[in-house]
Amino acid sequence: MKNDRIIGQVKRVNGPVIEVMGITDAMMYELVRVSDENLIGEIIKLENETAIVQVYENTTGIAPGDPVYGAGIELSLELGPGMIGTIYDGIQRPLEEIRKISEIYIERGISVPSLNRDTKWHFIPTAKAGERITGGAILGTVQETERIKHKILVPPEERGVIESIVAEGEYTVEEPIAIIRRGEETKELTLMHRWPIRVSRPVKQRLPLDLPLITGQRVLDTLFPVAKGGTVAIPGGFGTGKTMAQQAIAKWCDADIIVYIGCGERGNEITDVLTEFPKLVDPRTGRSLMERTILIANTSNMPVSAREASIYTGITMAEYYRDQGFHVAVMADSTSRWAEALRELSGRMEEMPAEEGFPAYLPTKIAEFYERAGYMETLSDRTGSVTIIGAVSPPGGDFSEPVTQHTKRFIRCFWALDRGLANARHYPAISWLESYSEYLGEMSVWWEEQVSPAWQQDRAEIMELLHREVRLQQVVKLVGPDALPDTQRFVLDVCSLFKNSFLQQNSYDKIDMFSVPQKQVKMLHIIVTYWLRGSEAIKRGATLVKLRKMKVYQDIIKMKFTVPNDDLSHLDTIEARLERSLSQLESVYA
C-alpha cells in the first residue's frame, strides 16, 4: 500500500492499541501504516485531533513521535480469481508467499499482494461494448479451478455504459479488461476489485430458507438440519470435537465453496487443518478439497487485533462468491476467541466493561456477523447463499456464559456438543436433548418431496422416544433396568439401537463416514417401524428377548456399515424382512 500522506504522530502505545495525535485528515476505519516499519493498522475511534488505531502486527519498538500514514481507504480485501486454494492470515496476506520471503516468523511490516500479480487468467467476456451495466453485473468468466468458474463482477458501487471490453485472452488481475463511462467520467475495470471488510455487500432481496445444507452427518441432517443461508452455533468445551465436526462438514457438505476461518485457535490445531485439507479428496469431484476451499489461519499467538478482523475477512470473501451465484459455507473456529479479542481491545481502550469483562457492544457485533448470512437474490439476478457455522468455546463447557447466550439470540440452529458423549467416544458428540433447529417447518416441503413423505413424522416419533428414555433412565438409576416392564425396557432398547446404529458415525469407515439423505431417511424409517410394530407385539404378549433374537435385528445394527450410498436396495430388503419377522411374531401371540 502506498504511504501517500502523514495523518498524525504516535502519542501513546498500549499493546496493539495506539493513540495518534495531530490528526489532520482521516476517517473511521481508514487503513493506516504506523511508523517507517509500515505496520498495518485501522482507525477505530476519532475524537477532535486524536485517533485510536488498532494495529494488526507486533508494536514492539514503536515510540511516541513516530509518523502514521493514511491510505485514504477503509481496510479492504482484494477480490478476484486466485483466492480459492490460498491460505491467508486474518488481514488477507497470503502466508505461502510470505514464507518465501520471510525467515521462520512473519516479519513486521511485510507487504505481499493478496492476489498474485504475475498469474495470467483466461478471460472470456460475456458483456459487450455499448451495454448499460450496474453494480454486480457479470463482465465475463475465468476458470479459477476445474470446478469453479469465476464470474468477473462489476464492483457494486459502479454503473454506466461499457465503452470498450477486451477480447478473449490471458490477463493478470491488474490489467484493464473494460472501460465504462458514466457521464463525463470513465473508469477502467480489472479482474479484481476491492471491498471493505466491515460492510456487507448489497443484494436485491433475501429469499426464504427452504433448501437444506446436506452435511452427510445423520444426527445433523435428519434431526437438526440447517438451511442454505442459515446460521448455526456449535458450542462445546475443550475436547468435545468442535473442530472435527466442522472439518467433517467442510468435507462432506454440498456447498460449492468452503471458507474456513481458524480464529484464535491453537497453532497445532490450525497446522492439522493446513496439512490435512490439501490431502482430503472432494467426494463429488475426486480432486483435492482445496480446489473449493479458502483457509484463513489466525492462531492464538498471532496479534489479537488481526483475530478480530479475520472473521470479517472470511465473511466478505464468502459474500463475494455468493454474488457470483455460489452456495458458500463459512466455518468460524471459534467465535469465542474472536469475542476475547474484542474484550482485550476494549480493555486497552479503557471502555466500560459489561458482563464477564466483555464490551457492552458484544451482542451487536455478534448480530452483525450472523446477519451477513442468508439465501439471496444477487445484483446479477442469480441466487446464492452464505451459511455460517460458528464454533463457540465456552470456558468449562458452561453454556450460560455471555458469548454462547448472545449467540443463541441470533442463530436458528444449535448443535450442542456433549462431553459425556465425547468421553464415551460417541461421534459426532451432538446432544440430541440440548440441540434444536428452527428450520424444520420451512424445509419440510423439500424433504417430503425430494426424499420421503414420512421424514417429519418419523423424526417426531424418534425425538419423542429419546425424551421418554431420559425419564426412564432416572428410574433405572434408582431401581435398575430389570424392575421395568418389557414395554419400558423396549423404549431403552430402541433408543440404544438408534444411538449406536444411526446417530453414531465412524469417520474412518468408507461407507459410514457420509450418508445421503435417502439412506438416512430409510434407516430412520426402519428403526421407527421396529419400534411401532415391536411395541404392538409386546402388548400382545411377545417378549423383548424374542424381538432381539430376530435375525433381522443384527442387520439393522450393521446397516450403516453394509449399505453403500449408491445402492439402497438392501435397505428395502431389510425393511421387508423386518415386516415379515414381526408379522410372524405377532401371529404367534394373536
**Residue 248: pLDDT band by 50, 70, 90 thresholds?**
confident
For residue 447, report the phi and psi dihedrals to the nearest 5 degrees: -60, -40
147 confidence band (pLDDT: 50, 70, 90): confident
Q: Are residues 288 and 413 in the same domain?
A: yes
The residue type at 374: G
Widest distance between CA atoms in the chain: 95
| Distance separating alpha carbons of residues 578 and 452, to the nearest angstrom | 19
Q: Based on the domain organization, do 426 and 350 belong to the same domain?
A: yes
Q: Which of 192, 226, 248 is the last residue of a domain?
A: 192
3-class secondary structure, 98: helix
Q: Do the beta carbons of residue 349 and residue 52 sit within 8 Å?
A: yes
Domain count, the chain: 4
Note the pLDDT tens digit of each residue in 67-118: 999 999 999 999 999 999 999 999 999 988 988 888 777 778 888 999 999 9
Peptide bond preceding 278 in cis form (omega within 30 of 0): no
Domain harbouring 424, CATH code: 3.40.50.300
- Is 507 contained in some domain? yes
Question: Are 387 and 313 found together in one domain?
Answer: yes
d(CA 82, CA 89): 15
Same domain for 479 and 564, yes or no, is: yes
Residue 94, in any domain of the structure = no
Whether residues 15 and 55 share a domain: the answer is yes
The domain that holds 527 is classified in CATH as: 1.10.1140.10
Is there a contact between 514 and 544 (Cβ–Cβ < 8 Å)? no
Q: Residue-wise over 196-231: b if at least 16 C-beta within 10 A, else e?
A: bbeebbebeeebebbbbbbbbbbbbbbbbbbbbbbb
Choose the final residue of a domain: 440, 471, 494. Answer: 440
In the chain, the percentage of residues whose pLDDT exceeds 90 is 75
Question: Considering the entire predicted model, what is its pTM?
Answer: 0.93
Flag whether pLDDT at 527 surpasses 50: yes
Q: What is the pLDDT of residues 135-144, one digit of tens each?
A: 999 999 999 9
416 located within any domain: yes
393 part of a folded domain: yes
**In contact, 276 and 507? CB cutoff 8 Å:** no
Cell numbers given for 503:
446417530
Residue 4 binned pLDDT confidence (cut-offs 50, 70, 90): low
Own/partner pairs, 120-123, CB within 8 angstroms, 24+ separation: 120/170, 120/171, 120/172, 121/81, 121/82, 121/170, 121/171, 121/172, 121/173, 121/191, 122/168, 122/169, 122/170, 123/152, 123/166, 123/168, 123/169, 123/170, 123/171, 123/177, 123/191
Cα-to-chain-centroid distance, residue 491? 36
On whether the CB atoms of residues 219 and 503 are closer than 8 A, the answer is yes
List, as one string, the DSSP characters of 339-400: HHHHHHHHHHTTPPB-GGG-BTTHHHHHHHHHTT-EEEE-TTS-EEEEEEEEEE--GGG-TT
Q: 346 with 360: CB under 8 angstroms?
A: no
Cite the beta strand spans of 380-485 per DSSP E: 383-392, 413-414, 436-437
Looking at the structure, do residues 158 and 274 belong to the same domain, yes or no? no
At 225 the three-state DSSP class reads coil
User: The CATH number of the domain where 40 resides is what?
Assistant: 2.40.30.20
pLDDT of 103 reads: 74
Whether residues 435 and 480 fall in one domain: no
Residue 103 domain-assigned?
no
Give residue 505's identity as a one-letter amino acid code.
Q
Residues 232 and 357 in one domain: yes
Q: Are residues 394 and 541 in the same domain?
A: no
For the stretch 351-379, pLDDT in tens is: 999 999 999 999 999 999 999 999 999 99
Q: Is 54 within 8 Å of 42 (Cβ atoms)?
A: yes
323, 379 Cβ separation under 8 angstroms? yes
* Same domain, yes or no: 240 and 381: yes
Q: Taking 90 as the threshold, does the pLDDT of residue 261 lie above it?
A: yes
Q: Which of 251-265, 298-312, 520-534 has the highest mean pLDDT?
A: 520-534
> What pLDDT score was predicted for residue 210?
94
Query: Do 409 and 540 sit in the same domain of this protein?
Result: no
Domain boundary (440, 472, 497) is at 440
Q: Is 430 a member of any domain?
A: yes
151 strand-pairing partners: 141
Q: Which of 253-267, 281-295, 523-537 has the highest mean pLDDT?
A: 523-537
- Sequential DSSP letters for 326-342: -EEEEEEETHHHHHHHH
The answer to the question of residue 448 being in a domain is: no
Owning domain of residue 361: 209-440
Average confidence (pLDDT) over 199-226: 96
* Residue 305 within a domain: yes
Tell whether 429 and 507 lie within a shared domain: no
